[in-house]
Amino acid sequence: MNLSKYEQALHYEIFINEEYHIIKEKLQKSKIIFDIWSHLWFFSLWCLKQNLDLKIHIFEASKENFEKSNALLKDYEKNIIFNNVFVDYEKNIKEIWINQEKSMQTSFYNNQFLCFSNEKENVKCINLMEYIKENNIKNIDLVKIDIEWYEFELLSNINEKIFTITKTLIFEYHILFPDFNLKFELLQNKLKKYYKKIKIQESKYNKNIGLIVCEN
């Protein structure tokens, strides 16, 4: 499979630098994972390298990214439930901005820093808790969210039951404007009601971007 230089860089970050090493031990004991905004599903593939007994529900809104990933994960179909949708706090049709040069930065937002694009695509959004109920899922070992700046919108409005049934939540955050500092603080306060441990791992490239890991 041909990867762009940016996709190659992402592959390096996940598989060589192991950006998600903080959850590596937990994966070995996990059964069910949600990969929200899975891009080319490098994360899901890395998880399967840690534990081949995982069942991973992957959600990718971009049609092109979704189709490209089929070739990447065709050998793991028994482990993966594919969903060409975005899981949101409500059912809807939304526009995303397609970043052709940096496909991992396709986003609901369009700006010079994150995703500067002239190409849009309508995507289907489903209600996350409805999906969980329809699939009779009682507990989730890990939910990973990397949704390019939409994380505050999703996690601030979502049915909070998701936190009670998710053992570990890991998501990438982006504080791109001053008012996002308040959103970040409010979200952390909400998550503290449900998780005993909350760890912030700042990006080595930009202090306003990083990972949050929430654990019971």
Tokens for 149? 């700046």
Beta carbons within 10 angstroms of residue 169's beta carbon? 23
Higher pLDDT, 156 or 208: 156
Give domain 5-84+132-215's CATH superfamily.
Vaccinia Virus protein VP39 (3.40.50.150)
Mean pLDDT of 41-64: 94
- Residue boundaries of the structural domains of the chain: 5-84+132-215
Which among 151, 211, 163 is positioned nearest to 190, based on CA atoms? Answer: 163
3-state helix, strand, coil in the chain (%, to 5): 35, 30, 40
Cross-strand pairs, 24: none
For 72-105, how does the pLDDT look when each residue is reduced to its tens digit (9 = 90+)? 888 999 999 999 999 999 999 998 877 777 777 7
State how far the Cα of 200 lies from the Cα of 119, in Å rounded to an integer.
33
Which among 146, 152, 1 is positioned nearest to 59, based on CA atoms? Answer: 146
pTM as predicted: 0.93
